[in-house]
């Protein structure tokens, strides 16, 4: 690979508090050689490829902490190849894959499979997670030590929460010793049982069983109480309500160390968008009130929420074309993550740098992976986007194998122009 | 030319009766006016008309039902339609065929009307997107039961002469009741004041946003009401954590002649049936023809459904 220089870029890299006009040189090994306003074309040799970014924005490749690949078992929904295409088109270069496949990723041989299969078929960086408990039954913890040694970055039961307080206490106690990351889906099943949307006016009108915010809050309260006793690396996958945020605020103020994620769905939609039973907007945790959405945005601003995830959940039409209560949960989102996140910049509710931080360096830090940064020496995973370019999201044009987007026909601003992986151009619009 | 094309397209689209929420006030009034004509027909010696002759009506019942199903059956037959009733409780749907597949199968038989009862809220809406015929909702989940609300309105008008200005209490398991929701929408539209009365565990969240006052106390909730609508308390609700016991429920929420005194002196009682005597209503009170409209509700139900079938069936 030739050395290349990206010139005329507005570089935003929150890992080094950088937001400046400048250039970036990628060396022949695909690593960042130099970055910033002081890098000039003069610094390069004659063989260097020059790419003019025309004042568009250059950021580290996005790190998505929560995406579902259909492999193994659900190849008809998504596979490594289609997920990679969708990710790169969305500026995402690193993905934490969810373990709720068929079979589940809950043992060493499955992790081997994922890593090998990913190496052959995927064209993005994959960071596998494994289940927190065997069979996601919430009873017995998986082999945290052995699985971590194989390359698992975190442990989660994805759409399930460990219900037993005893099991959770043991998990956290054990995890605190070996230093693995626990990623909890906060939902009390007894409270959320058969619920499918937020409990409130919309559930009353649609005649659907609601899920109270208490179902989420109570698990967060419980886990944080345990965390106080067993300080481990603890991350809440996605929160959805104002009330959860209050619990988080109180605990963070008390000095407890943990991290929090939010799905782009809960940041860009609210329960009213469900309208007349739109099953594509059935997601978990559910969309809640506009007031909740605003609180979540505020939570990012104040640093209570650390990361934004796509919660990319491909589902085929069969699974969605059912009465609402029976329909599958989840929406695809990896390709639309950045433009939707940029809405919060365009409507002036979040600073651009904060948005980029939650998509790059913050998840990388939580995962303890060397991504989300363009510091000298880092692998040059990069995303170039036009901040203002308007476009309309159309499911048919998205690259995921499944087309269950929750934001069909949404008008957005901000378009990914190029995505680089290890210094190589991997996507160009 | 383009304009003409559009009107045709609209005309070709069948109308559906999915819920009171989708009706305009005028549409609701038109159905009630039409139904009044059918009350007379149903009381005459020859009850048959040929308004829907040559039309096919399929009753698709995913939930067991006696009243609503027989009422729709009779209504279609009296209008001269060919009526077929499918009890899906023991058909292919149990074998894993989806609602959509069944819909497509039935649609291929060119029915003019499908009457659907389904345990999932929104199922009729989904069905209506996939078939070329009229869909009439005969009750979906906890969401709506529009023909029940319409027959309740007709019953009230028949007795009280009007709905506007009346005070109506709906009491019991509001949370799980489609009848309550449809009645709240319709009675509000027609100008009544609506109270809902239920223990807190059976009261839906934010119910006030539907334009009602909510009470947990029968005395306060019934105060000055002209109509007291009781809802069925399903047995399975008694076994969950909603209520302590039948006895306690009856004590505080069961309608007795003592509790009825909280309402207006001329208050009348309604119940969508089937009744749990001794649970939500005192058995003697339920049969007291001076105050109970239960039988009339059933009678007028046929007339209302005839009106709906007539008005919604594609010509």
- Whether pLDDT at B278 is above 50: yes
Give the Å distances, CA to CA, from A229 to A172, A222, A226, A236, B251.
9, 11, 5, 17, 48
Catalytically annotated residue among A64, A223, A292, A311 = A311
CB A3 within 8 A of CB A25: yes
- Whether pLDDT at B159 is above 70: yes
- What's the CA gap between A140 and A134, in Å, rounded? 6
- What's the CA gap between A212 and A186, in Å, rounded? 12
Give chain A positions within 8 Å (CB) of B142.
Answer: 207-209
pTM for the full predicted model: 0.93
Provide the pLDDT for residue A46: 83
User: Environment class of residue B141 by beta-carbon count within 10 Å: exposed (0-12), middle (13-18) or buried (19+)?
Assistant: buried
Q: Does B196 touch chain A (CB under 8 A)?
A: no
- What's the CA gap between B212 and B206, in Å, rounded? 10
- What's the CA gap between B209 and B187, in Å, rounded? 15
Q: Is residue A311 annotated as part of the catalytic site, yes or no?
A: yes
Which residues face A64 on adjacent strands? A95
- The DSSP annotation for A85-117 comes to HHHHHTTEEEEEEPS-SSS-S-SHHHHHHHHHH
- What's the CA gap between A304 and A244, in Å, rounded? 11
Of B98, B99, B181, the CB nearest to A207: B181
In 3D space, the residue among A406, A425, A90, A81 whose CA is nearest the CA of residue A270 turns out to be A406
Give chain A positions within 8 Å (CB) of B181.
Answer: 204-205, 207
- What's the CA gap between B199 and A181, in Å, rounded? 44
- What's the CA gap between A172 and A170, in Å, rounded? 5
Torsion on CA atoms B173, B270, B32, B8, rounded to nearest 10: 20
pLDDT band at B130 (very low <50, low <70, confident <90, very high): confident
Provide the pLDDT for residue A214: 98
Q: What is the CA radius of gyration of chain B?
A: 20
Q: What is the pLDDT of residues B80-128, one digit of tens each?
A: 999 999 877 666 556 567 788 888 888 999 999 999 999 999 999 999 9
- Whether pLDDT at B11 is above 60: no
**C-alpha count within 13 angstroms, C-beta hemisphere, residue A251:** 25
- Whether pLDDT at B24 is above 50: yes
Of B100, B125, B204, the CB nearest to A277: B125
String of b and e for B96-133 (b: at least 16 CB within 10 Å)? eebbbebbeebbeeebbbbbbbbebbbbbbbbbeebeb
Q: Does A206 touch chain B (CB under 8 A)?
A: yes
- Let me know how many helices (H) and strands (E) chain B has, helices first: 13, 9
- Whether pLDDT at B3 is above 50: no
- The DSSP annotation for A373-420 comes to ---TTSB--EEEEEEEEEEE--GGGS-SSS--BS-TT-EEEEEEEEEE
CB A318 within 8 A of CB A74: no
Provide the pLDDT for residue B66: 87
Provide the pLDDT for residue A40: 80
Distance from CA of B100 to the nearest CA of A (A): 7
Helix (H) or strand (E) holding A424: strand A424-428
Give rounded-to-5 percent helix, strand, coil for chain A.
35, 25, 40
> Nearest 5 degrees, angle CA B182-CA B203-CA B185?
20
CB A367 within 8 A of CB A65: yes
CB A57 within 8 A of CB A388: no
* ipTM of the complex, rounded to two decimals: 0.91
- Contact flag B205-A203 (C-beta cutoff 8 Å): yes
Looking at chain B from residue 157 to 186, which residues have their Cβ under 8 Å from any Cβ of chain A? 178, 181
The least confident of A325-334, B174-183, B193-202, B240-249 is: B240-249
- What's the CA gap between A229 and B114, in Å, rounded? 60
Helix (H) or strand (E) holding B195: strand B193-197
Instruction: Kindly state the average pLDDT of the residues B187-210.
Output: 97
pLDDT tens sequence for chain A (429 residues): 889 999 999 999 999 999 999 999 999 999 999 999 999 877 778 889 999 999 999 999 999 999 999 999 999 999 999 999 999 999 999 999 999 999 999 999 999 999 999 999 999 999 999 999 999 999 999 999 999 999 999 999 999 999 999 999 999 999 999 999 999 999 999 999 889 999 999 999 999 999 999 999 999 999 999 999 999 999 999 999 999 999 999 999 999 999 999 999 999 999 999 999 999 999 999 999 999 999 999 999 999 999 999 999 999 998 999 999 999 999 999 999 999 999 999 999 999 999 999 999 999 999 999 999 999 999 999 999 999 999 999 999 999 999 999 999 999 999 999 999 999 999 999
Provide the pLDDT for residue B235: 74
Q: Does A208 touch chain B (CB under 8 A)?
A: yes
Q: Does B209 touch chain A (CB under 8 A)?
A: yes
- What's the CA gap between B295 and A138, in Å, rounded? 53
Q: Does A347 touch chain B (CB under 8 A)?
A: no
- What's the CA gap between B78 and B74, in Å, rounded? 6
- Given the structure tokens 């929160």, which residue do they identify? A239
- What's the CA gap between B271 and B254, in Å, rounded? 12
List all residues 6 or more positions away from A99 whose beta carbon is below 8 Å from its beta carbon. A105, A106, A110, A128, A129, A130, A131, A156, A158
Name the pairing type of β-strands A18-26 and A32-36. antiparallel
Name the pairing type of β-strands A125-130 and A62-67. unpaired
Distance from CA of A203 to the nearest CA of B (A): 8
Q: What is the pLDDT of residues B201-237, one digit of tens each?
A: 999 999 999 999 999 999 999 999 999 999 999 777 7
- Contact flag A326-B120 (C-beta cutoff 8 Å): yes
Number of CB atoms found within 10 A of residue B312's CB: 18
The secondary structure of residue A328, as a DSSP letter, is P
% of chain B with per-residue pLDDT over 90: 81
- What's the CA gap between A130 and A111, in Å, rounded? 8
Give residue B133's region: left, alpha or beta (phi > 0; psi -120 to 50): beta
Of A210, A276, A321, the CB nearest to B100: A321
Q: What is the pLDDT of residues B50-89, one digit of tens each?
A: 999 999 999 999 888 889 999 999 999 999 999 999 877 6
Find the closest chain A residue to B123 by CA distance: A323
């Amino acid at each position: 690979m030739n050395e290349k220089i990206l010139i005329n870029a507005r570089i935003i890299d929150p890992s080094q508090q950088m937001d400046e006009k400048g250039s970036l040189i990628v060396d022949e090994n695909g690593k960042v050689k130099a970055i910033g306003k002081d890098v000039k074309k003069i610094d390069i040799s004659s063989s260097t490829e020059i790419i003019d970014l025309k004042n568009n924005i250059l950021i580290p490749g996005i790190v998505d902490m929560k995406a579902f690949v259909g492999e193994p078992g659900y190849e008809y929904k998504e596979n490594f190849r289609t997920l990679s295409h969708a990710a790169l088109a969305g500026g995402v270069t690193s993905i934490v894959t969810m373990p709720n496949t068929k079979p589940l990723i809950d043992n060493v041989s499955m992790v081997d499979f994922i890593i090998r299969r990913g190496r052959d078929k995927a064209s993005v960086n994959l960071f596998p997670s494994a289940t927190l408990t065997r069979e996601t039954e919430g009873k017995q913890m998986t082999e945290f030590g052995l699985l971590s040694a194989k390359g698992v970055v975190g442990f989660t039961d994805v759409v399930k929460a460990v219900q037993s307080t005893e099991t959770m206490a043991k998990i956290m106690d054990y995890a605190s010793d070996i230093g693995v990351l626990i990623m909890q889906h906060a939902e009390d099943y007894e409270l959320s049982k058969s619920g499918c949307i937020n409990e409130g006016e919309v559930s009353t009108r649609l005649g659907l069983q609601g899920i109270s915010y208490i179902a989420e809050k109570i698990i967060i309260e419980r886990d944080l109480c345990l965390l106080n006793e067993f300080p481990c690396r603890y991350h809440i996958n996605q929160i959805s309500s104002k009330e959860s945020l209050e619990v988080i605020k109180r605990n963070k103020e008390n000095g407890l160390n943990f991290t929090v994620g939010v799905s782009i769905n809960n940041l860009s939609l609210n329960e009213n968008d469900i309208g007349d039973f739109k099953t594509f907007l059935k997601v978990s945790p559910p969309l809640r009130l506009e007031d909740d959405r605003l609180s979540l945005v505020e939570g990012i601003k104040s640093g209570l929420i650390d990361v934004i995830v796509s919660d990319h959940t491909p589902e085929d039409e069969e699974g969605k074309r059912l009465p609402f209560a029976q329909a599958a949960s989840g929406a695809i989102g990896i390709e639309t993550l950045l433009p939707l996140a940029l809405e919060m910049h365009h409507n002036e509710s979040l600073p651009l740098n904060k948005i980029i931080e939650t998509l790059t360096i913050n998840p990388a830090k939580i995962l303890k992976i060397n991504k989300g940064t363009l510091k000298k020496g880092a692998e040059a995973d990069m995303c170039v986007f036009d901040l203002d370019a308007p476009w309309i999201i159309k499911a048919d044009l998205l690259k995921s194998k499944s087309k269950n987007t929750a934001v069909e026909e949404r008008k957005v601003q901000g378009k990914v122009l190029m995505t680089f992986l290890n210094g190589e151009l991997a996507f160009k619009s | 030319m383009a304009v003409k094309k559009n009107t045709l397209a609209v005309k070709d689209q069948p109308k559906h009766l999915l819920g009171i929420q989708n009706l305009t006030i005028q549409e609701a009034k038109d159905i009630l006016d039409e139904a009044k004509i059918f009350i007379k027909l149903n009381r005459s010696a020859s009850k048959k008309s040929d308004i829907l002759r040559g039309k096919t009506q399929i009753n698709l019942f995913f939930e067991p039902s006696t009243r609503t199903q027989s009422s729709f059956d009779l209504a279609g037959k009296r209008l001269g339609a060919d009526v077929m009733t499918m009890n899906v409780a023991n058909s292919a749907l149990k074998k894993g065929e989806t609602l959509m597949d069944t819909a497509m199968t039935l649609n291929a038989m060119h029915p003019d009307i499908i009457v659907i009862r389904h345990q999932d809220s929104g199922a009729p809406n989904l069905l209506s997107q996939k078939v070329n015929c009229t869909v009439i909702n005969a009750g979906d989940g906890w969401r709506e039961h529009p023909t029940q609300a319409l027959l309740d309105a007709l019953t009230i008008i028949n007795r009280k002469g009007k709905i506007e200005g009346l005070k109506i209490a709906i009491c019991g398991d509001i949370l799980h009741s489609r009848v309550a929701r449809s009645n709240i929408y319709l009675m509000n539209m027609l100008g009544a004041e609506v109270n809902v009365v239920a223990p807190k565990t059976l009261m839906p969240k934010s119910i006030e946003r539907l334009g009602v006052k909510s009470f947990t106390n029968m005395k306060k909730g019934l105060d000055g009401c002209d109509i007291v609508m009781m809802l069925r308390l399903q047995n399975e609700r008694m076994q969950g954590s909603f209520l302590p016991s039948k006895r306690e429920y009856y004590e505080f929420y069961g309608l007795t002649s003592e509790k009825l005194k909280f309402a207006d002196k001329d208050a009348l009682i309604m119940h969508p049936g089937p009744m749990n005597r001794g649970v939500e209503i005192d058995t003697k009170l339920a049969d007291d023809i001076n105050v109970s409209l239960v039988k009339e509700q059933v009678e007028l139900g046929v007339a209302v459904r005839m009106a709906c079938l007539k008005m919604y069936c594609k010509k």
